[in-house]
């Protein structure tokens, strides 16, 4: 079994994605989507960005490694009556089922960054995008003080060392790495631009209740709790994450959760 696929099929990421819908829609609204634009959403999950793109008139294909999320995405598209949005299983580091030069826009928001073999990922994104098209990535930033980078940082301290040759997904949040990976796919540095942007996680309960959802539904957090439990350190991990979630909450009352998280927005003009 592909470990990356197993990781994301754990739990039910749709439960976390529910907290990201508002930011997904606001981000896609900035992509200049026009009727009939051909969009590939890579590592699309259950469609947080794919569905808003389709609502704006794009012809959207969502590709994700997790079969449960592909199924959930197709169900959401059906329930919204969006015949111009479909989801299929695939691996961002090997998109052999897709032809060259077919998409006007390749989007990957916190998706392709999690695929192994980042140089292959860059090559595949460039290959399936048409000349004159665009690639837009959203990547979490290593050691950033906001939520997701801190969850992954805290979790890694409770997890066994990664296997030899493992490249951290967070390495996609470093501009020099992005430039190097796209350069190896034939894209010159001047075609790549970067900005810091913010995604907000909104949840209708307390930060501790929001954390409980990560414990049961977010693959990387599930794995961290399994590893911590094996070492008898589960309570320590819980305490660290609970402090993090509560400290990051921007809602003064604390009975609802709104947590902004910074990411690196990458735009590649082909």
Ligand X SMILES: C[S@@+](CC[C@H](N)C(=O)[O-])C[C@H]1O[C@@H](n2cnc3c(N)ncnc32)[C@H](O)[C@@H]1O
- The site for ligand X (CB under 6 A) is made up of 4, 8, 13, 17, 20, 24, 43-45, 48-49, 64-66, 69, 91-93, 109-111, 114-115
* CB count in 10 Å sphere of residue 26: 14
If the CB atoms of residues 185 and 233 are measured against ligand X, the closer one turns out to be 185
Q: Is 25 helix (H, G, I), strand (E, B) or coil?
A: helix
Q: What sign has the CA pseudo-torsion 219, 224, 225, 230?
A: positive
Non-local (6+) Cβ contacts of 259 within 8 A are 146, 147, 200, 201, 207, 210, 245, 248, 249, 250
CB of 235 to ligand X, least distance (A): 26
Q: How far apart are CA 130 and CA 42, in angstroms?
A: 16
* Residue least distant from ligand X (Cβ): 45
Give the rounded distance of the alpha carbon of 153 from its chain centre. 16
What six digits make up the tokens of 222? 């599930």
If the CB atoms of residues 6 and 229 are measured against ligand X, the closer one turns out to be 6
CB of 89 to ligand X, least distance (A): 8
CB of 76 to ligand X, least distance (A): 11
If the CB atoms of residues 86 and 191 are measured against ligand X, the closer one turns out to be 86
If the CB atoms of residues 198 and 239 are measured against ligand X, the closer one turns out to be 198
If the CB atoms of residues 20 and 224 are measured against ligand X, the closer one turns out to be 20
CB of 185 to ligand X, least distance (A): 17
Tokens 């910074």 -> residue? 262
Q: What angle do CA 68, 36, 140 make, to 5 degrees?
A: 50
CB of 49 to ligand X, least distance (A): 6
């Amino acid at each position: 079994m592909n470990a990356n696929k197993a990781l994301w099929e754990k739990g039910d990421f749709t439960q976390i994605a529910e907290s990201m819908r508002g930011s997904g829609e606001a981000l896609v609204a900035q992509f200049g989507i026009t009727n009939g634009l051909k969009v590939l959403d890579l590592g699309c999950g259950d469609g947080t960005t794919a569905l808003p793109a389709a609502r704006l008139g794009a012809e959207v294909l969502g590709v994700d490694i997790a079969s449960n999320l592909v199924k959930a995405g197709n169900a959401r598209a059906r329930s919204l009556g969006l015949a111009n949005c479909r989801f299929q299983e695939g691996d961002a580091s090997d998109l052999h089922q897709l032809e060259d030069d077919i998409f006007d826009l390749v989007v990957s928001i916190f998706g392709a960054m999690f695929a192994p073999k980042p140089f292959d990922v860059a090559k595949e994104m460039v290959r399936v995008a048409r000349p004159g098209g665009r690639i837009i990535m959203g990547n979490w930033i290593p050691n950033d003080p906001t939520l997701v980078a801190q969850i992954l940082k805290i979790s890694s301290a409770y997890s066994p060392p990664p296997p030899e040759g493992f490249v951290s997904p967070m390495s996609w949040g470093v501009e020099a790495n992005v430039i190097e990976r796209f350069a190896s796919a034939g894209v010159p540095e001047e075609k790549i631009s970067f900005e810091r942007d913010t995604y907000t996680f909104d949840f209708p309960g307390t930060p501790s209740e929001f954390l409980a959802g990560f414990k049961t539904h977010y693959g990387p957090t599930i794995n961290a709790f399994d590893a911590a439990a094996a070492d008898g350190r589960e309570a320590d991990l819980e305490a660290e994450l609970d402090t993090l979630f509560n400290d990051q909450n921007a809602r003064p009352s604390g009975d609802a959760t709104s947590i902004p998280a910074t990411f690196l927005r990458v735009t590649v003009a082909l």
